[in-house]
């Protein structure tokens, strides 16, 4: 039963593949064209600023420190972003599964969001002790760096 629940949560947490407006698969190999507004073959810091995650990774992946991302640098940054998203989705699934199996925790009333290993719990519970218990359960999950417990008593 636990495996089935984890599987269902994992499937719904994963992003679907990119599609074009006509429903076909996106064939752009790197996706750099959507960021490269001046069509010079690179993504500048200004072009990257439109995407918070890419902007955050810009310096780390500008290997030659020329202030722009080549297609290879851009691909590595986007792969890192995808890897982080998958890791966060996995953590979210693990936390939801742990809450489902914890006794006395109204797991269906609790929302779980994860960003870079930091988990945020939100929603409403019946009793104050359920807030602490849910936070403790979430903190005990592998990969969780911190828990922001925003649960409230109804």
Domain-embedded: residue 17:
no
Residues whose CB falls within 8 Å of the CB of residue 24, separated by 6 or more in sequence, listed in order: none
For residue 16, the model assigns a pLDDT of 41
Dihedral-angle region of residue 3 (phi above 0 means left; psi in -120 to 50 means alpha; beta otherwise): alpha
What is the pTM for the complete model shown?
A: 0.75
Q: What is d(CA 38, CA 43) in angstroms, rounded to the nearest whole number?
A: 9
Domain-embedded: residue 7:
no
Domain-embedded: residue 15:
no
Q: What is d(CA 84, CA 117) in angstroms, rounded to the nearest whole number?
A: 9
Say if residues 144 and 116 touch (Cβ distance below 8 Å): no
CA angle, residues 60, 62, 68, in degrees to nearest 5: 135
Q: What is d(CA 151, CA 105) in angstroms, rounded to the nearest whole number?
A: 12
For residue 20, the model assigns a pLDDT of 40
Say if residues 76 and 52 touch (Cβ distance below 8 Å): no
Domain-embedded: residue 24:
no
For residue 30, the model assigns a pLDDT of 64
For residue 137, the model assigns a pLDDT of 98
For residue 17, the model assigns a pLDDT of 40
| pLDDT, one tens digit for every residue, the chain (154 residues) | 455 454 445 544 544 444 444 444 444 446 999 999 999 999 999 999 999 999 999 999 999 999 999 999 999 999 999 999 999 999 999 999 999 999 999 999 999 999 999 999 999 999 999 999 999 999 999 999 999 999 999 9
Q: What is d(CA 114, CA 91) in angstroms, rounded to the nearest whole number?
A: 7
Domain-embedded: residue 13:
no
The enclosing domain of 102 has a CATH number of: 3.30.1340.30
For residue 10, the model assigns a pLDDT of 52
- Which domain covers residue 63, as residue numbers? 31-153
- The stretches of the chain forming alpha helices (DSSP H) are 2-13, 45-48, 52-61, 71-101, 128-139
Domain-embedded: residue 14:
no
Domain-embedded: residue 85:
yes
Domain-embedded: residue 12:
no
**How many domains are contained in the chain?**
1
């Amino acid at each position: 039963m636990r495996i089935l629940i984890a599987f269902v949560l994992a499937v719904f947490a994963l992003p679907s593949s990119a599609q074009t407006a006509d429903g076909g698969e996106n064939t752009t190999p790197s996706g750099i064209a959507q960021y490269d507004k001046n069509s010079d073959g690179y993504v500048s810091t200004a072009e990257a600023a439109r995407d918070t995650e890419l902007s955050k990774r810009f310096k780390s992946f500008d290997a030659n420190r020329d202030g722009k991302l080549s297609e290879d640098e851009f691909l590595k940054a986007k792969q890192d972003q995808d890897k982080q998203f998958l890791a966060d989705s996995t953590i979210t699934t693990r936390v939801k599964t742990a809450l489902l199996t914890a006794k006395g925790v109204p797991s269906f009333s609790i929302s779980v969001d994860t960003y870079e290993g930091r988990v945020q719990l939100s929603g409403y519970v019946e009793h104050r002790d359920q807030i602490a218990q849910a936070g403790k359960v979430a903190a005990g999950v592998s990969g969780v760096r911190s828990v922001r417990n925003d649960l409230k008593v109804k």
